[in-house]
Amino acid sequence: MKRLHPSTIFILFFMLVSVCSWSQQTPSLPKNVNKYDSAQAAHSPRKAAIRSAILPGLGQIYNKKYWKLPLVYGALGASGAVFVYNITNYKDTRFAYRVKYNMRVNGTDSLLFNSIKSNLQPLPEESLRYYRDQFRRDIDYSVLFFLLLWGLNVVDATVDAHLKTFDVGPDLSLQFKAGYSELAQTNGFSIRMRLGK
């Protein structure tokens, strides 16, 4: 696996720091805007979605939900590790299958037999073909899961930004009441939710 050049790491780090500093700045708003409109204008779900789509976790940083970063990178890292595992084994089994196939058909590539990994050398040709196809299918699944998790990262950042102004104050209440319900005109349990004063 190729390593990133130090200048590439520096540029990525610089971009991350600049995006984080942009998320800390709040635009000035007119005096006649109420607190919910100002919070909505200062915290845009669109910005959170775009940032998460560009680089996973930036939307969570924008929403100031830093505890979600290990979850995002853990999920994406796990699916990336599964992809690397599958592609490595796919290449090994494909090479072993080609060598054994050429040895059977042409009687060639017998010198390449020692290049096959030791755990694949005793396997028959049919088993190698089966494992090759399995790893190829698993590569597709791991890419699909990686893209799905990236999309969930964007959805999480967007929903979290939308709920930033959700009121969870003490004026909300949920009551369970047993007895006669005037609305249903029956006896039983009812749930009442009171919003506001």
pLDDT at 61: 93
Backbone angles phi and psi of 116, in degrees to 5 = -70, 140
What is the value of pTM for the model shown?
0.63
Decide: helix, strand or coil at residue 41: helix
Q: Could you tell me the mean pLDDT of each successive run of 10 residues in the chain, 197 residues long?
A: 58 52 46 50 85 94 93 95 96 90 76 82 90 95 95 94 77 73 78 67
SS3 95: helix
Q: Is 190 exposed, middle or buried (0-12, 13-18, 19+ CB in 10 A)?
A: middle
Closest Cα to residue 130, out of 96, 102, 104? 96
Q: Which residues contact 190 (CB under 8 A, 6 or more apart)?
A: 176, 177, 178, 179, 181, 183, 184
Residue 166 DSSP one-character state? -
